[in-house]
Structure 1
Amino acid sequence: MDARRLETLLLLSRLGSMRAVAEETHTTTSTVSQQIAALAREAGTPLIEPEGRRVRLTPAGRRLAGHAVTILAALEAARLDLDPSAEPAGTLRVAGFGTVIRRSLMPIVARLAVDHPGVRVHIHEHEPAEALSLLAADGIDLALTYDFNLAPAPLDRTVDVRSLWSADWALGVPAADPWTDVAAPEVFARYRDHDWIVNSRGAADEQVVRTIASMAGFDPLITHRADSLALLQDLIVAGLGVGLLPADQETRPGVRLLPLKDPSPVLRTYAVVRAGRTGWPPLTLLLNLLRTVPGQPDPPVG
């Protein structure tokens, strides 16, 4: 099968229309249609079907588009193997949560623009479950995810998981509350009658809250859910509850961080790719660069 036609099919699966593919490749919709038709003849089965005024991939077309990712990556790896001096090139689709994008990915994107201009990065902000779903559907090439040591994410044999950096988390409370340095369950017990704030788009920190609260002998009242850590701090300042926050991040006035130990919640970050895809040179380059960037604290909030 012709590699250019496979690339056209892959773009169609990702962009959703022949017009979009034509614009991306600087060709015409007629050329795109002819490439797909020729590929269908090579495959011996229809790859697209009409959907109103547009087209969509048939089940066979979706399966072939999935194979195209691996085939094109192998061809690129072979090209570099025969010409080690060749510059990696391609567009990487990356999804991750806001903190890892700011701390780890953005510095790399700036470096790529200077050192490897042929590699482009498209960034999508998503919580781990959303990013992993996109990865499984081949909607992205790399997922930047996290879990907690007290709420470990299940392993999946269909993906390649690489550890990045980790960070301690603490309990965010109103600044007027006295500082304490005791075991986590005792800290939590002090706030058994308070409202609690957890993430609105992920369950990991809620699992940590419930785990430590159960060790303290109570069931926390989850009242508010917020995806933004800045909003979570606003809620704490307003006296609307308490919640977990990164221990290495400066807080806004009115918020105090109480350290937690025995157990200490630790957020762990990962780079996740589909198994067998790490040989694609642009992705290999990005994975290697990610391992060189430490998890620096975010800038102050507010």
Structure 2
Amino acid sequence: MTPTQLRAFATVVRLGSVKAAAESLDVTEAAVSLHVGQLRKELGDQLFSRTGSGLAFTPGGLRLASRAVELLGLQDRTVLEVREAGAGRRLLRLAASSLFAEHAAPGLIGRFADRARDLDVELSVHRAADFEQLLVTRTVDATIGPRPATTEGVVRSTLFLNYQIWAVAAPTHPINRATPAPNVLRDQVWVLGPAAAEDSGVVPAMLHRLGVPESKQQIFQSHAAALDEAKRGRGIALALSFVAQPDIARGALVQLPGRLTQAQGSWNVSILGGGRATPAAEEMARFVTTPRATQAMLRGRAIAHGRFKPAVHVTLWS
């Protein structure tokens, strides 16, 4: 069983056809079929068969598909680690929710990179629903955000910070004239960051609880951009309390009163369990729970981007 065979099979599984896999890998269909045939012969399993509605996988084929992705991810990561080690560098691949990545990651990574000068951090933004798969396939080394729903022992999660989300608006916004009723809130324009477009999380849960229709939601490329729109009186925003507090203190924003206009969430750091996490991931999991890390996260906006830019690579994943 070779990496080339596994990559061919994994691509067939991902794309659903030999033809599509061949195009993706830039090889002939005959080459893909040959690799799959060699796996079938070695493993004594048909792996999949063609049906009128696509490919039907055997239980063994499904098991191989899962293992192939994990093995290929480990191979890619090993190659990367060897190259980094040859250059005297280590790499930590960190996946985070959009809220954390925008508002807390700068401070955390800046402080963490100061402690480990030989470490580069690659930060990417993902849906929380994908965290477990990203860890299991070793696409990333650690995730920060909601706790992944996973089998005990597969992923080790540690809660390190509870946070609050507040509904805020400009002082001149008409909504501030009285405690807003649910039906009044539903009729307002809501200016929102990327977290509102996710399938789950504190922000989508708040919007669902309020019954805000999609027609009333304006989603911007960042939470900061949405907050700026709120300051201009163009709608209601949902913001982290520690982000909104300075603007509230200056009188640029007002927190809306009421139980429906606030919610609590939590950030967890998650790594592979059973001693399978990388040393860098273990270091991050320990550091993120320290008071120094918490202070850095809550003051993240004050840390200049240029301070940690050379050690951090940011990727936005749709």
Task: Name the TM-score class by shorter chain.
Answer: 0.5 to 0.7
Identical pairs, percent: 14
1:280 partner letter: T
1:172 aligns with 2:146: no
Question: In the alignment, what sits opposite 2:227?
Answer: 233
Tell me by how many angstroms 1:102 deviates: 5.9
Shift of 1:246: 1.7
Residues 102/291 of structure 1: CA separation in 2 closer, same or farther (3 Å cut): farther
Say whether 1:52 aligns with 2:26.
yes
1:1-302 aligned at under 5 Å gives the runs 40=2, 46-47=5-6, 51-52=25-26, 62-65=69-72, 90-101=90-101, 104-129=104-129, 131-146=131-146, 155-157=149-151, 158-177=154-173, 188-198=182-192, 199-203=195-199, 204=201, 205-211=203-209, 213=210, 219-222=211-214, 223=216, 224-249=218-243, 250-251=246-247, 254-261=252-259, 264-277=262-275, 279-292=277-290, 293-294=293-294, 295-299=297-301
CA–CA separation in structure 2 for the residues paired with 1:67 and 1:125: 21
- Aligned partner of residue 244 in structure 1, secondary structure: strand
Distance of 2:95 and 2:110 partners within structure 1 = 17
Tell me: CA distance 1:101–1:239, structure 2 relative to 1, closer, same or farther (3 Å). closer
Q: What CA distance in whole angstroms lies between the structure 1 residues aligned with 2:73 and 2:275?
A: 11
CA contact (8 A) 2:73 2:139 kept: no
Would you tell me which structure has more helix in proportion to its own residues?
A: 2
Alpha-carbon spacing, 1:176–1:167, altered in 2? closer, same or farther (3 Å)? same
Which whole-Å deviations, capped at 9, do the CAs of 1:256-276 have from their partners, x for residues lacking one? Answer: 222444784012111122333
Q: Which ranges of structure 2 fall in alignment gaps of 5 or more residues?
A: 9-21, 37-64, 80-87, 303-318
Q: Give the 3-state SS of the residue equivalent to 2:140 in structure 1.
A: coil
Structure-2 residue corresponding to 1:25 = none
Instruction: Flag the 1:260–1:138 CA change in 2: closer, same or farther, 3 A.
Output: farther
Tell me how far 1:239 sits from its aligned partner: 4.3
Shift of residue 94, structure 1, vs aligned partner: 0.6
Kindly tell me: are residues 248 and 161 of structure 1, through their superposed partners in 2, closer, same or farther at Cα, counting changes over 3 Å?
Answer: same
SS of 1:120 mapped into structure 2:
strand
1:143 partner SS:
strand
Change (3 A) 1:53 1:71: closer
The AA in structure 2 aligned to 1:65 is: L
* Partner SS state of residue 247, structure 2: coil
Further displaced range: 155-164 or 103-112: 103-112
Letter aligned with residue 231 of structure 1: A
1:165 shift after superposition: 0.9
Contact kept in structure 2, 1:247 and 1:257, CA below 8 Å: no
CA RMSD of aligned residues (A): 4.2
Gaps in structure 1 of 5+ consecutive residues? 1-38, 73-87, 147-152, 214-218
Q: 1:239 to 1:232 in 2, by over 3 A?
A: same
Preserved CA contact (<8 Å) 1:196 1:221: no
Distance 1:278 1:136, change over 3 A: closer
